[in-house]
């Protein structure tokens, strides 16, 4: 996901979170194809307007001890049709417990909200995004040819895509899970959206977005594709997805989109002032560490690897400005606390070592 924010907001966590990075849209806006360029420019303009008028949803960082695990709870979902406008939320079209409607975008959004709620509840004992039963709201058909989806601090919003480069943003369940996980981060560690802490913010959303997809498909770590956003790229685009956790830098290589810029290890870390200090680019490094850890352990990735990442994200020791090394050290400690000094501990140390991040 991408979050954009005013420079003065990056410390506060009041970010406007979108799945397509601004630099990718900037690249598309320079296309020789007038329709393609216009769709990208329009998306950038709409994003800027939405960012300007958004409410600042301030949240206090909650420690794990303040959010007691729950054994049973139910989602409270509402899906709206924005009717190709930018006024939110739009017309209410499906509420919790109602049967499917004819609009497949509405049904996919509803199901994606449910899949995210289920993983956090059934696996981690978390009652919705905030841990306290937050109702889940989403709007589909936002604007026209809008090439993005975002979490605005209060709800999910989905564009239909331009049909040329991007398809309907409700298609990949991991994109929905990714964006909603920004809400989880907002209510827990509240990682600053800049540099390595921002890349960790992005990476945690990719990790749990992938786990939500794997959980819904009942896939083991060695069965998963570890791709983020499969089905989002139009058929003529040369690429599989937006990102690859298994092989960062290989998700797409297209004449229009360019080549996936993500590094897999610290050897290729990108030092840049763009993209909030490379938050969408360098997130490939902790992404790859998680993939290595989860596949080394085997089995279902949400059970052990995901539990350790969740413990760190919600445990209260992760600071807003954490570096990769800070996060890595906390995962090693969390592995020891939960599973002892055995295979899990050794595997997480090995994974971070493979991507060049120290754990001591």
> Quick check: 277 and 286 in contact, CB under 8 A?
no
In whole numbers, what is the pLDDT of the chain averaged over residues?
91
Strand-strand pairing, 136-140 and 77-81: parallel
The pLDDT score that the predictor gives to residue 175 is 97
Q: Are 22 and 275 in contact (CB under 8 A)?
A: yes
pLDDT in tens, 265-295: 999 999 998 888 999 999 999 999 999 999 9
Residues annotated as catalytic are 179, 280
Which stretches of the chain drop beneath a pLDDT of 70?
1-16, 50-69, 71
pLDDT of residue 153: 86
Predicted TM-score (pTM) of this structure: 0.92
The residue ranges of DSSP E strands in the chain, in sequence order, are 2-4, 16-18, 77-81, 91-95, 136-140, 149-151, 156-158, 227-228, 243-244, 253-254, 258-259
Could you tell me where in the chain the CATH 3.10.170.10 domains are found? 2-186
pLDDT score recorded for residue 56: 43
User: Which pLDDT score is estimated for 63?
Assistant: 43
* Domain topology for 2-186: Elastase; domain 1 (3.10.170)
* Helix, coil or strand: residue 166: strand
DSSP 90-127: -EEEEETTPPP-S-HHHHHHHHHHHHHHHHHHHHH---
Per-residue model confidence (pLDDT) at position 65: 40
Q: What is the pLDDT of residue 51?
A: 61
pLDDT at 114: 98
pLDDT digit string (tens) for 195-254? Answer: 999 999 999 999 999 999 999 999 999 999 999 999 999 999 999 999 999 999 999 999
- Of the candidate CATH numbers 1.10.390.10, 3.30.70.20, 2.40.50.140, 3.30.360.10, the domain formed by 195-354 belongs to 1.10.390.10
CB atoms within 10 A of CB 203: 28
The angle that helices 173-186 and 305-314 make with each other, rounded to 10 degrees, is 30
For residue 239, the number of C-alpha atoms closer than 13 Å in the C-beta half-sphere is 30
- Residues in the chain, overall count: 360
- Domain span(s) for CATH 1.10.390.10 in the chain: 195-354
Residue with tokens 């020791």: 317
């Amino acid at each position: 996901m991408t979050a954009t924010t005013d420079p003065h907001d990056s410390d506060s966590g009041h970010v406007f979170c979108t799945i397509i990075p601004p630099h990718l849209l900037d690249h598309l806006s320079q296309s020789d194809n007038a329709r393609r360029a216009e769709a990208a420019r329009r998306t950038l303009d709409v994003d800027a307007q939405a960012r300007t008028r958004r409410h600042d949803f301030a949240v206090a960082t909650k420690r794990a001890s303040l959010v007691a695990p729950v054994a049973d709870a139910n989602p409270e979902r509402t899906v709206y049709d924005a009717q190709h406008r930018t006024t939110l939320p739009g017309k209410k079209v499906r509420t919790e417990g109602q049967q499917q409607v004819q609009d497949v975008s509405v049904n996919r959004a509803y199901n994606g909200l449910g899949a995210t709620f289920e993983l956090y509840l059934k696996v981690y004992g978390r009652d919705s995004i905030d841990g306290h039963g937050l109702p889940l709201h989403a709007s589909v058909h936002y604007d026209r040819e809008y090439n993005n989806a975002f979490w605005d601090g209060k709800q999910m919003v989905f564009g239909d895509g331009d049909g040329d480069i991007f398809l309907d943003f409700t298609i990949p369940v991991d994109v929905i899970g990714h964006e909603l996980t920004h809400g989880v981060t907002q209510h827990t560690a509240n990682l600053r959206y800049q540099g390595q802490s921002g890349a960790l913010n992005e990476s945690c959303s990719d990790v749990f977005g992938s786990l939500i997809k794997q959980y819904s498909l009942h896939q083991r770590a060695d069965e998963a594709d570890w791709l983020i956003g499969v089905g989002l790229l139009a058929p003529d685009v040369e690429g599989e997805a937006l990102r690859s956790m298994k092989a960062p830098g290989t998700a797409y290589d297209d004449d229009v989109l360019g080549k996936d810029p993500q590094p897999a290890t610290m050897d290729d870390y990108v030092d840049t002032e763009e993209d909030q200090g490379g938050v969408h680019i360098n997130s490939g490094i902790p992404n790859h560490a998680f993939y290595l850890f989860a596949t080394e352990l085997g089995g279902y990735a949400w059970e052990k690897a995901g539990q350790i990442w969740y413990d760190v994200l919600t445990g209260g020791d992760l600071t807003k400005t954490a570096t990769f090394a800070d996060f890595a050290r906390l995962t090693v400690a969390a592995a020891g606390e939960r599973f002892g000094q055995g295979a899990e501990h050794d595997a997480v140390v090995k994974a971070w070592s493979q991507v060049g991040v120290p754990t001591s």
